[in-house]
Structure 1
Amino acid sequence: MEVRWFRDAFEKPVHLYSFQENLLETQDRAYQDRTALSPPALERGDISLRLRNLRPSDRGVYTCIAHDGSQYEEGQTEVIVAALGTQPSISMDSTQGEQTRLVCRSEGWDPEPEVIWRDRDGNNVTSLSSTTVQRDSQGFLSVSSYIKIKQQSNVFSCLVRSKIPKPDWESKLHISSDFFPGVSGWMVAFFLTLALSIGAIPLLVIQWRRMDAMERKLEPMAAKCLHKELESVRPVPKSGM
């Protein structure tokens, strides 16, 4: 019996099994070391193809032909490949004038995902962003989305979502005002220290008053104890001989 799996070209099989052997000399190079037929399954009439290390380029329609010299059967199946990429990361990319640009990156997607930006109030601000997509050597997609932000909008989230039903990835970033131009770091530290000092003054006054009241309360007790000590050490007069 011969079993031939192929896609576009009959003469370049994805996998060829004949005379109880895997004949891989004419196999499509894109599938080398990635295909297999199970011998125990073949004995049961199961000629399913096992395909390892799936790639985006593997998607498509596959044709299977099986014949034993007297009977001939043919069937087709479609392979759909979808990859959920990495969780997106948000970082500062560059500063231009009075605006700061953020970049949201994620890789390993297929097909191309959708990128959604939201501000701290949950408003969709994707229209203010620009997105670029690149395909790597294995056929997966890397996404980079950029958005310029203002100082008053200091919480952003980036949602990277597959266009087919798959889990979503989301990352959020809280941006400190120290990152924005025009705000000096030492000024922020100075005012923060000043605010803490002013806030501590009432506590110091209260503590001083408590210590003063305690001291006044303990003064009579301390004087009484001192008087007793002096009485105990008073010299005894000598008696006449």
Structure 2
Amino acid sequence: MGLPWGCGCPSLTGHTRGLLTSLVTLLLLLWLGSAQLRVEGPGQPLTATVGQDVVLPCHLSPQRDARSLEVRWIRRTISETVHHYLNGEDLYGEQMGAYAGRTELARDGLSAGSLDLRIMGLRPSDEGHYVCIVKAADAYDEATVELVVSATGADPHLSLEGYEAGGIRVLCRSASWYPLPQLLWRDARGQHLPSVSQTHSQDQEGLFEIEGAVIVTGSVEGPLSCVVRSSRLQQEWESSLHITAPFFLKAQPLIVVLVLVLVLLAVSIGLGVYLFLKKGKLAAQGWSRGR
């Protein structure tokens, strides 16, 4: 038996429409959720040492398979490609020359949403901000990783360079540092001594060599120390040198000459007086014999 037209079918139709609307909304939200990407980095600077390998961490959240996605790592300041992955392959056509043969996307972790990039043989020029970019057909996101690079150089080397300004010129040199360290002088009491000169240079690999000089006089007692300090590593390296008293005598040539002149003058005067008295005595003896 059919239902009469006035049985409330419009309300039933409205109810059905509401269910359909809710269902479509739910499906749309589920689709959007599956299409959206969220890329996350470490959230803090990553520190590494020159010459070693470093892994820049990046991953999808929530975890999902990234093998079918496009992954591109770039340098943020220059927007040039460090590594490019697409359709299951590494593409090197747009890669910066400085990274040729030095990068690797961790394939083992792609299925779990890991997008980590390994950089091999770290260089000072690798320091900076990197951007991990992920693209899907209908979604995009990125995360930034800051890489901080450091290198510990050689212990300070001290050498005597000669006499200067009434003292001894001492040179301190240390190489293979990154970034540029500080060079300080200390006496035996830990007091800082002023440098008379300080220079630095950078080699082709980007490592620094620093050199400083100080004039040491006899007033500086005990060992002299050269300290190279790395503010980034919060450490310092020290070498010491003890200069003995005879070196300071040679450092005073004018005083030495003056002393020698005075000694010779005293000897000359004494010899003159002696000869004068002897001559006078001989003259007196001759005069007495003549009488």
Q: Determine the structure 2 residue equivalent to 1:84.
A: 152
Are residue 28 (structure 1) and residue 102 (structure 2) matched?
A: no
Cα separation, 1, equivalents of 2:78 and 2:232? 30
1:89-104 map, 5 Å: 89-96=157-164, 98-104=166-172
Cα separation, 2, equivalents of 1:181 and 1:69? 83
Cα separation, 2, equivalents of 1:128 and 1:141? 19
Q: Determine the structure 2 residue equivalent to 1:231.
A: none
Cα separation, 2, equivalents of 1:112 and 1:102? 21
1:5/1:180 CA distance change after superposition, 3 Å: same
Q: Deviations over 1:61-104 (max 9, x none)?
A: 11111123233221111111122222111111233364211111
RMSD: 2.0
Structure 1 unmatched runs, 5+: 184-241
Q: Determine the structure 2 residue equivalent to 1:140.
A: 207
Kindly state the Cα deviation for residue 40 of structure 1 after the two structures are TM-superposed. Answer: 0.3
Cα separation, 2, equivalents of 1:35 and 1:177? 58
TM-score, normalised via structure 1 length? 0.69
Cα separation, 1, equivalents of 2:160 and 2:215? 10
**Is the CA contact 1:112–1:163 (under 8 Å) kept in the aligned structure 2?**
no
- % of aligned pairs identical? 36
Kindly state the Cα deviation for residue 152 of structure 1 after the two structures are TM-superposed. Answer: 4.2
Kindly state the Cα deviation for residue 141 of structure 1 after the two structures are TM-superposed. Answer: 0.9
Cα separation, 2, equivalents of 1:13 and 1:165? 30
- Total equivalences in the alignment: 181
User: What is the SS of the residue equivalent to 2:92?
Assistant: coil
Q: Determine the structure 1 residue equivalent to 2:135.
A: 67
Are residue 131 (structure 1) and residue 198 (structure 2) matched?
A: yes
Cα separation, 1, equivalents of 2:196 and 2:103? 43
Q: Determine the structure 1 residue equivalent to 2:7.
A: none
Structure 2 unmatched runs, 5+: 1-68, 252-291
Q: Determine the structure 1 residue equivalent to 2:237.
A: 169
TM-score, normalised via structure 2 length? 0.57
Letter in 2 for 1:72: Y
Cα separation, 2, equivalents of 1:97 and 1:165? 36
Q: Determine the structure 2 residue equivalent to 1:17.
A: 85
Are residue 121 (structure 1) and residue 189 (structure 2) matched?
A: yes
Cα separation, 2, equivalents of 1:182 and 1:87? 29
Q: Determine the structure 2 residue equivalent to 1:46.
A: 114
Letter in 1 for 2:152: L
